[in-house]
């Protein structure tokens, strides 16, 4: 899959079948869009293309108004991996800045869709809005498509049991630690990947060494302490317990970090790429009176996670409800 961190330069522009959106989560609703786009792209003999944005427009506007950033489901690497897995040929990541936020909808169509990405087919969701003030809608696109530059199609929201499958629904399920619901919405277990970085070595001093992954945004969609498996360090996933949060006992910078203690593991893995799969939430992040109290709680968390894994034989995949039966 080709990835451009701006519109492709003129020499790399070629006709495509296009869809536009943030695709945070790449949930089952997104997957229907991507499958439909890939089918139409093959029929037309074109590459399929996704136009997405960084930062998320909601993050941009929240920062402008001094509000907390909205929660994010996926880091960029995981989003790109998911887009590739579901058949996307190229991704353009447009920098969402003052200029793009102020771009009138009519110019967005001409400069981004028609000229910038050479769209010959455009597929959008039923809630798609674009341009300054979100003034652009499907009716505007329909009028533009009548000029013959591109075909236009709209796809309805995917619903299950009357409820719309959406990024907001995924965020709510993650916030509540409902991993059965998360898996139902995503069609896969929830995970985060990253390269193992050096930390403060506090976990080692406490008797619970951790591998650390940096979270590249202010507010992940979940926080707390979790039972996890880690993939990428061997033929089978390794069991562990993880903390995702800002570590209020030892830090004051407010930056989220994912720390994973693997059971019975002792190897230098700095720099390696791993994937952390979340199985069950144990508790929320908490403030402790000191390091002794923190050590005692970590021991209880590790004991609970070990009991979870010892209840059944090890497996590379947990059932949808997060249990192991």
Q: Given this model, what pLDDT does residue 312 score?
A: 60
Taking the C-alpha atoms of residue 183 and residue 180, their distance in angstroms, rounded to an integer, is 5
Provide the pLDDT confidence category of residue 294 given band limits of 50, 70 and 90: confident
All domains of the chain in start order, with CATH? 2-164 (3.40.50.620), 189-310 (2.40.30.30)
What integer pLDDT is reported at residue 321 of this predicted model?
A: 42
72: part of which helix (H) or strand (E)? none
Contacts of 187 (CB under 8 A, 6+ apart): 27, 28, 31
Global confidence as pTM: 0.88
Using the predicted structure, report yes or no on whether residue 229 has a pLDDT greater than 90: yes
Q: What is the pLDDT of residue 74?
A: 96
pLDDT tens for each residue of 141-200? 999 999 989 999 999 999 988 889 999 999 999 999 999 999 999 999 999 999 999 876
List, for residues 40-85, the tens digit of each pLDDT value.
999 999 999 999 999 888 888 988 888 887 899 999 999 999 999 9
* Phi, psi for 161 (deg, rounded to 5): 60, 30
| pLDDT tens profile 5-54 | 989 988 889 999 999 999 999 999 999 999 999 999 999 999 999 999 99
- With bands split at pLDDT 50, 70 and 90, how would you rate the model's confidence at 285? confident
Q: Reduced to 3 DSSP states, what percent helix, strand and coil does the chain have, rounded to the nearest 5? A: 35, 25, 40
Structure tokens at 242: 């993880």
What average pLDDT does the structure give for the chain?
A: 89
Per-residue pLDDT band for 240 (boundaries 50, 70, 90) equals very high
Q: What's the CA gap between 201 and 67, in Å, rounded?
A: 33
pLDDT for 216 beyond 50: yes
């Amino acid at each position: 899959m080709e990835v451009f961190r701006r519109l492709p330069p003129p020499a790399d522009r070629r006709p495509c079948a296009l869809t536009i959106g943030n695709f945070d989560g790449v949930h089952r609703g997104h997957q229907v869009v991507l499958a439909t786009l890939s089918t139409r792209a093959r029929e037309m003999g074109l590459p399929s293309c996704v136009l997405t944005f960084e930062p998320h427009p909601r993050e941009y506007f929240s920062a402008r108004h001094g509000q907390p950033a909205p929660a994010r489901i996926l880091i960029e690497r995981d989003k790109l991996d998911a887009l590739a897995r579901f058949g996307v040929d190229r991704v353009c990541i447009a920098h969402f800045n003052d200029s793009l936020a102020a771009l009138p909808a009519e110019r967005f169509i001409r400069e981004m869709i028609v000229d910038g990405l050479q769209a010959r087919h455009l597929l959008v969701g039923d809630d798609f809005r674009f341009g300054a003030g979100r003034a652009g809608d499907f009716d505007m696109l329909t009028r533009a498509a009548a000029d013959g530059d591109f075909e236009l199609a709209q796809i309805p929201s995917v619903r299950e049991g009357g409820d719309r499958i959406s990024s907001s629904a995924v965020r709510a399920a993650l916030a509540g630690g409902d991993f059965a619901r998360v898996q139902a919405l995503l069609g896969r277990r929830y995970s985060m990947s990253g390269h193992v970085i050096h930390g403060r070595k506090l976990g080692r001093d406490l008797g619970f060494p951790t591998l650390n992954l940096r979270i590249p945004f202010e507010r992940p969609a979940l926080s707390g302490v979790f039972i996890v498996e880690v993939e990428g360090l061997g033929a089978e996933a390794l069991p562990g317990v993880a903390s995702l949060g800002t570590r209020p006992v030892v830090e004051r910078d407010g930056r989220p970090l994912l720390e994973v203690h693997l059971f019975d593991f002792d190897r230098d893995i700095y720099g390696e790429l791993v994937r952390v799969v979340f199985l069950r939430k144990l508790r929320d992040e908490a403030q402790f009176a000191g390091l002794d109290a923190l050590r005692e709680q970590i021991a209880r968390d590790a004991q609970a996670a070990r009991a979870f894994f010892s209840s059944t034989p090890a497996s590379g995949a947990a059932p949808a409800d997060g249990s192991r039966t």
